[in-house]
Amino acid sequence: MKMARIESAVRVVLEFAEAFNRHDVAGMMQLLTDDCVLETAGPAPDGAVRSGKAAVAEFWQDFFRRSPQARLKVEDVFGFGLRCVMRWRCDWVSASGEPGHVRGVDIFQVREHLICEHRSYVKGPFGGA
């Protein structure tokens, strides 16, 4: 596996995190393949799967509508081949004004410089959305 390919996967995942922090759904979608798959962390225990850009965009639009102050802090990221793992902390403020956060890990698969698979796992209940 060439280092350039590994670095490219990490770069696209970091760009995705930056678009997340801007709540820029259109920017996030530019980084996904048309046939992308998103597996969310909830509902427990298995999450939910959304396939295709339209379904994934709808999820993120709803997420940011419910969590308008959500902010992702990348704590660690590494790539191996076409896979990339990002450990993160997501902070938010609830509708009642209470701050909250959760830590998690996302596993990405990148194909031709675009994310084709995004699987999310969290530690504990996720009250941000």
Q: Based on the structure, what is the number of domains in the chain?
A: 1
- pLDDT (tens digit, 9 = 90+) per residue, 33-62? 999 999 999 898 899 999 999 999 999 999
Identify the pLDDT of residue 6.
63
The owner of tokens 């596996």 is: 1
| 119 or 124, which is more confident | 119
Identify the pLDDT of residue 36.
98
What residue numbers bound the domain in which 90 lies? 3-122
Identify the pLDDT of residue 94.
86
In a domain, 118, yes or no: yes
Distance CA 93, CA 125 (A): 15
> pLDDT band at 129, cuts 50/70/90?
very low
Identify the pLDDT of residue 45.
86
Distance CA 13, CA 79 (A): 10
The CATH number of whichever domain residue 57 belongs to comes to 3.10.450.50
Measured between its terminal Cα atoms, the distance across the chain in Å is: 38
The strand pair at 114-122 and 49-51 is best described as unpaired
